[in-house]
Amino acid sequence: MTRPLIPLIFAMAATVVASNILVQFVLGDWLTWGAFSYPLAFFVNDITNRLYGARAARKVVIAGFLTGLACSLVGTQIEGAFGPLVSFRVALASATAFFVSQMLDVFVFDRLRHASWWRAPAISTLLGSTLDTALFFTIAFSAWLTVLHPATDVAWANELVPLLGTGPALPLWMSLAAADWCVKIVLAIVALLPFRMIVRRMTTSLA
């Protein structure tokens, strides 16, 4: 079982590494380029689950989790203009959000695997992406959780601004979270057709 998973493990690891790099590059007011690469983790997870089952998908998730921890460890040792590139809270948020949301994706997909072909990837990714966004931005930037690491300055993320520039005044991190979530959901929908095509082709090659 492990050998067929190697390409998928590498794909998950590459997605995590790329996202950790691309998150450093800002796109507009609310996003980073990492918002566009990170959803591929759910895509890889769902393909693994469809082809090899939930147990195999969990192995791929763990590989991505360990890769993410390594990236965070490296990031905490690199000094940027405002301190380490990765703070303790961001590292904790990233690891927690990835592991919990990906495992939720595995669980939901497995429960829906016998439904219409699109239900499992669509619903599992929707729920996983929502949980991932909520956990990451709350743990990383919420003033409510300053106790996690008082030395991390999150004042900038809690400045009150109109939600996505037009809505009610809320902490900035909520606008960042909302924009990130919207990208994940759009990409989840767009990914359904490639998911179907890749699974069909790989199922044929495995037969």
- The string of pLDDT tens digits covering residues 4-48 is 899 999 999 999 999 988 998 999 999 999 999 999 999 999 999
pLDDT band, very low/low/confident/very high, at 81 (cuts 50, 70, 90): low
- Average predicted confidence (pLDDT) for the chain: 92
Average pLDDT over residues 175-200: 96
pLDDT band, very low/low/confident/very high, at 207 (cuts 50, 70, 90): low
* C-alpha to C-alpha distance for 105 and 84, rounded to whole angstroms: 31
Q: Residue 122: is its pLDDT beyond 60?
A: yes
The residues near 77 (Cβ < 8 Å, ≥ 6 apart) are 84
**Exposure pattern of 84-111 as b/e (b: 16+ CB <10 Å)?**
ebbbebbbbbbbbbbbebbbbbbbbbbe
Domains located in the chain, CATH noted: 2-206 (1.10.1760)
Q: Residue 160: is its pLDDT beyond 80?
A: yes
Average pLDDT over residues 104-121: 97
pLDDT at res. 194 = 96
pLDDT band, very low/low/confident/very high, at 85 (cuts 50, 70, 90): low
pLDDT at res. 104 = 98
Spatial CA neighbour of 34 closest among 194, 142, 176: 176
